[in-house]
Amino acid sequence: MGMGMGMDMGVDPPVRTGTCRLPDGRALGWSEWGPPDGAPVLLCPGAATGSRLGFGTDLVDALGVRLVSADRPGLGASDPAPGRTLDDWARDVRHLAAERGLGRPALVGYSQGAPFALACAAHGLASAVAVVSGTDELASPRFADALEPEVRRLVDLAVADPEAAEALFAGFGSADVLWEVIAAGSSGTDLAVYRQPSFGTALRGALADGFARGPAGYARDTLLAMGRWPFAPADVTVPVDLWYGRQDTSPTHSPDLGAGLAALLPDARRHLVPGAGGSLLWTRAEPVLRSLLERGGAPLTRR
């Protein structure tokens, strides 16, 4: 797929934004694209990424998709929730889905958002899941010898001393630092996407949202993603599509590009995309959405 300067990366600004009030009084921020009566698809964004960065926003009207993205606590328009867990995120999403009339939406977990999406599915909140360039359970014994040394050190710290790990993540958490980390871990395939003017502007804006209240939300997210997950993949009984680009060079996505995770999930399909990297959420948005709608039982198009 060419990366011409005029290419639409599907990152148009949201059509609707707002907050929903959770039972404990916290605000949860959300962004939406597509027809309000479309098939609901809920995005769990990547690390420190606010909800204003969508994907496939040039496709949602034609596909009949109501794309919703949510700010995790402490990011964007969502109030912080110190000490929260992946299970707590599922509770937040249950309330968001009820208030916004989403039913059991199809879920997309991108990069660090993958464990958050899978936690929701383990709690019975999803009709289907697409894990795209997803962070795997790096603390699992199956990756004992597979991680890069620096990632191994962070994962071991997250398991052994969560407070120290969270403080460490907060210490280097900022939009500029994360942009540099993303660029440093990316293949040329991905850098060509991230350096597209429209995409770069949208991503940097979403990272600025992610750190608008400081680094605590990002630090907690990273701790939860890097530690042991509170659910087993076997608990996720809905269909799951795992999407990985063969040129994905991120050391924190999945050392085996989802092979082990696919074997543990009761109903998984794994897609290894040649010529794509970690950015395939944007470069392959249409097959991701079409497959997700089909797996979740939603009609493929409205018109």
In a domain, 303, yes or no: no
Q: Supply the pLDDT for residue 7.
A: 57
In a domain, 4, yes or no: no
Do the Cβ atoms of 206 and 235 come closer than 8 Å?
no
Q: What pLDDT digit, counting tens, does each position of 48-102 carry?
A: 999 999 999 999 999 999 999 999 999 999 999 999 999 999 999 999 999 999 9
In angstroms, the CA 55 to CA 291 distance is 15
What's the chain's average pLDDT?
Answer: 94
In a domain, 104, yes or no: yes
Q: What is the pTM of this model?
A: 0.95
Q: Could you give the angle at the alpha carbon of 67 between the alpha carbons of 105 and 291, nearest 5°?
A: 65
The DSSP code for 10 is S
Do the Cβ atoms of 116 and 85 come closer than 8 Å?
no
- Is residue 212 scored above 60 in pLDDT? yes
Q: Supply the pLDDT for residue 180.
A: 87
Which residues constitute the domain of residue 232? 16-296
Q: Supply the pLDDT for residue 300.
A: 56
3-class secondary-structure state, position 16 = strand
In a domain, 301, yes or no: no
- Is residue 1 scored above 50 in pLDDT? no
Whichever domain contains 241, its CATH number is 3.40.50.1820
The total number of structural domains that make up the chain:
1
Number of Cβ within 10 Å of residue 183's Cβ equals 12
* Residue 240 identity: V
In a domain, 264, yes or no: yes
